[in-house]
Amino acid sequence: MRSFGIIFLLGAFGYGLIETVWRGYSHWTMMIAGGISFTVFALISRCGIPLLYKCIFGSFTVTAIELCFGSIFNLGLGLHVWDYSNLPFNLLGQVCLLYSVLWGWLSLVAVPFAGAALNRLSGTSKIAEGSYYELSAQGLGGN
């Protein structure tokens, strides 16, 4: 359980950092969203499906979390943390196709990284068959 707490914190701070680099600031609500997303990424990494499907699922995960958080904090509580109303293919101004696609691309790195971090923290060596890290370990003489 402690491992998932650390994974959550890594995701929270990582998401906050990405957002700060991307748009110049972040918000505490987005750090919670990032922690949840990264924890889900760690769980996705353990599924025995190809990385492409993990990235698609990762994109849907972050998009769904952002829609939930946006509905609560932006629309419900009026915090105005973000607004994608000016972007094409947006839903309620809370999510949009552009950022869903970008999260899919970011998942190429984030999902395997979250899985590797969880494995290291939990002391397991469970790496999903066919994953990038499994293939890299094989190339380096690993298991």
The alpha carbon torsion through 123, 38, 7, 33 (nearest 10 deg) reads -160
Q: Which residue has the higher pLDDT, 136 or 72?
A: 72
Count of domains forming the chain: 1
Domain span including residue 6: 2-139
pLDDT above 80 for 35: yes
Instruction: Note whether 42 and 5 are within 8 A (CB).
Output: no
For residue 109, the model assigns a pLDDT of 95
Confidence of residue 63 (pLDDT cuts 50, 70, 90): very high
Give me the long-range contacts of 122-129 (CB less than 8 A, separation at least 24). Answer: 122/3, 126/46, 128/45, 128/46, 128/47, 128/48, 128/49, 129/48
Instruction: Note whether 37 and 15 are within 8 A (CB).
Output: yes
* pLDDT tens profile 14-29: 999 999 999 999 999 9
* pLDDT tens profile 70-87: 999 999 999 999 999 999
* Residues 36-51, mean pLDDT to the nearest whole number: 95
- Residue 33 to residue 19: CA distance in whole angstroms: 12
For residue 138, the model assigns a pLDDT of 41
Confidence of residue 123 (pLDDT cuts 50, 70, 90): confident
pTM assigned to the model: 0.83
Q: Which residue has the higher pLDDT, 66 or 136?
A: 66
Grouping H, G, I as helix, E, B as strand and the rest as coil, residue 92 is coil
Structure-block tokens of residue 64: 């769904």
Confidence of residue 127 (pLDDT cuts 50, 70, 90): low
For residue 25, the model assigns a pLDDT of 93
